[in-house]
Amino acid sequence: MSGTVKDHIDYAYELDLAIKPESSVPIINREYGVFSGPGVPLFSIGGGYFRHALQQILVNFHSRRGYLVVETPLIASSELFKLSGHMDFYKSNMYILNIEDREFVLKPMNCPYHLLIFLNHIARFRSKVKLPFKIFEIGRVHRFEPSGSLYGLLRVRGFTQDDAHIITFESDTLNVILNVFDEIKLLLESVFNLPISQDNIRIRLSLSDKNLIGKDFMGTIEEWSSAEDTLEKITSIIAEKYGIKASIGVGEAAFYGPKIDIIMTLKSSSGVKEWQMGTIQFDFNLPRRFKIYDIIREVYGDNRVYIIHRALIGSIERFLGGYLEHYRGRLPLALAPIQVAIIAIKTGDWKVDEVILDKTINIREKLLSNGLRVGLKESTKTSLPGDIRSIESTIKPPIIIYIGAREVRESILTISIFSHKEMKRISKTIKYSSLDEALTELENIIRGEEEGVIKISGFAPRIPADLSHML
Ligand code: ZN
């Protein structure tokens, strides 16, 4: 490899393609610098920003809703996963490591660690621990997928779940699950502008195959029947409450219990596709294996509990892949790597240009100090169309502010905001007497256009950064 910067960029992508069996990684992901090792995506350029922004939103969202936020290691002794039953029922999906003659695994799920945390809590704090007890983690897991089935961000070997486990009394199960569904709705609608309707979401009740209980599904027929009956009732309640369709998948349950899967319909370059995203899973096996029934009976005098495994969006990688395809790379304001691009349109008259640049830099500073991710680009009347094309085909900032001679002369800001509802840009002009006033007005406009950003404003991510070099 020698020569130009472009050669090196091409080389990076060639390498990406060479180690990946499919060559059709959605081009849209590459614009944010998201590309794949063999089933393990790398997030660079803007990708790293939107990913961290999303993780920050998820952490704040869950801590506000009473979840204990934790972080657990990527590797574990295989003993832990023997105890959980994974080494018997899930081994073919797991990566096994040998370190100093001891067997370790890359964790394929976070549950065993979360149960250790719960046991530790209840051992220390006894009945001060109130059920339902909710544990959340941005949980990185690794699962084997055959190389032929890997696909961009949508099917990978290492991914990250918005994973939580809820330990609840049987009697609270319905409320707990309805609450989780409310969380799914709130998150999709407020952060992602994805309203829940029967056009874009359905649920699937995934049951065991009765012939394979004891073989592929852990537990007894009685335990499965009782959990499946309960979950069936809850599924119809959810379908009715949210006006969405429900179907049944026999044999699709997790090995430890039946589940409700959230299936989203998203547009892609190759047509409309269905993807499994969030999930709500019932578990009566892990409590027994981790002796949770015993300690719960001892502490509360009633041991009828379930463990509920749940993820609201499921895999962060898959969700982002699907979302980027669906909205053709248009991220919502809360997640966009560059939220505001300021374009200074220079005139060639140095006196005027000095005022334009002054104003532009002033606005950039104010936006940065308000916690926004900002990029600034100097342009001219002639180069403006090309600059806009280039920005719109790469980093796609939700907001563009133009400052040229007219804007300075008339004390106005010309603003272009991308609307996900209309899938196009909407232009506005703000007349102001002070910059602070203009920025307040800008905030009001965003409030109207990007309803969601404001609903989550209390826990909106703050990763301010000047990312001008990306424009
Ligand atoms: Zn789990």
Output the domain CATH number for residue 367: 3.40.50.800
The reply to whether 292 and 159 lie within a common domain is yes
Confidence at residue 39, expressed as pLDDT on a 0 to 100 scale: 81
The boundaries of the domain holding residue 376 are 340-470
Is the predicted pLDDT of residue 183 greater than 90, yes or no? yes
111 CA distance to ligand 1 centroid (A)?
4
DSSP bridge partners of 42: 35
Query: Which of these ranges, 47-51, 286-290, 398-402, has the smallest mean pLDDT?
Result: 47-51
Residue range 333-380, pLDDT digits in tens: 888 889 999 999 999 999 999 999 999 999 999 888 878 889 999 999
Closest CA to 462 of 52, 33, 34: 52
347 CA distance to ligand 1 centroid (A)?
60
132 CA distance to ligand 1 centroid (A)?
16
Q: Would 305 be classed as within a structural domain?
A: yes
454 CA distance to ligand 1 centroid (A)?
32
What angle, rounded to 10 degrees, do the helices at 173-192 and 221-242 form? 50
Distance CA 243, CA 234 (A): 14
The reply to whether 49 and 187 lie within a common domain is yes
Is the predicted pLDDT of residue 458 greater than 50, yes or no? no
405 CA distance to ligand 1 centroid (A)?
58
Confidence at residue 98, expressed as pLDDT on a 0 to 100 scale: 94
371 CA distance to ligand 1 centroid (A)?
35
The reply to whether 260 and 237 lie within a common domain is yes
145 CA distance to ligand 1 centroid (A)?
19
The reply to whether 41 and 149 lie within a common domain is yes
- The mean per-residue pLDDT over the stretch 234-239 comes to 94
Helix/strand/coil (H/E/C) assignment for every residue in 149-161:
HCECCCECCEEEE
Q: pTM of the predicted model, to two decimals? A: 0.86
Beta strands in 107-189 (DSSP E): 133-142, 158-169
291 CA distance to ligand 1 centroid (A)?
16
Distance CA 134, CA 123 (A): 16
Q: Which helix (H) or strand (E) holds 456?
A: none
278 CA distance to ligand 1 centroid (A)?
12
The reply to whether 200 and 345 lie within a common domain is no
Q: Would 462 be classed as within a structural domain?
A: yes
Query: Which of these ranges, 218-222, 315-319, 395-399, 463-467, has the smallest mean pLDDT?
Result: 463-467
The reply to whether 318 and 367 lie within a common domain is no
Q: Would 154 be classed as within a structural domain?
A: yes
309 CA distance to ligand 1 centroid (A)?
5
Residue range 1-27, pLDDT digits in tens: 445 655 655 555 555 555 444 444 455
The reply to whether 245 and 102 lie within a common domain is yes
109 CA distance to ligand 1 centroid (A)?
6
129 CA distance to ligand 1 centroid (A)?
20
263 CA distance to ligand 1 centroid (A)?
18
Task: Check: CB of residue 325 under 8 Å from CB of residue 268.
Answer: yes
401 CA distance to ligand 1 centroid (A)?
45
Beta strands in 284-423 (DSSP E): 305-315, 340-346, 373-380, 399-403, 412-419
Task: Check: CB of residue 218 under 8 Å from CB of residue 285.
Answer: yes
The reply to whether 357 and 451 lie within a common domain is yes
Q: Would 376 be classed as within a structural domain?
A: yes
Residue range 88-122, pLDDT digits in tens: 888 999 999 999 999 999 999 999 999 999 999 99
311 CA distance to ligand 1 centroid (A)?
9
Please state, in angstroms and as integers, the Cα–Cα distance from residue 88 to each residue in 214, 298, 381, 384, following that order.
11, 29, 67, 62
Q: Would 199 be classed as within a structural domain?
A: yes
110 CA distance to ligand 1 centroid (A)?
6
Q: Would 332 be classed as within a structural domain?
A: no
161 CA distance to ligand 1 centroid (A)?
10
Number of domains in the chain: 2
Q: Pairing mode, if any, of strands 340-346 and 373-380?
A: parallel
Query: Which of these ranges, 22-36, 69-83, 89-103, 268-282, has the smallest mean pLDDT?
Result: 22-36
Q: Would 346 be classed as within a structural domain?
A: yes
In three-state secondary structure terms, 306 is strand
133 CA distance to ligand 1 centroid (A)?
14
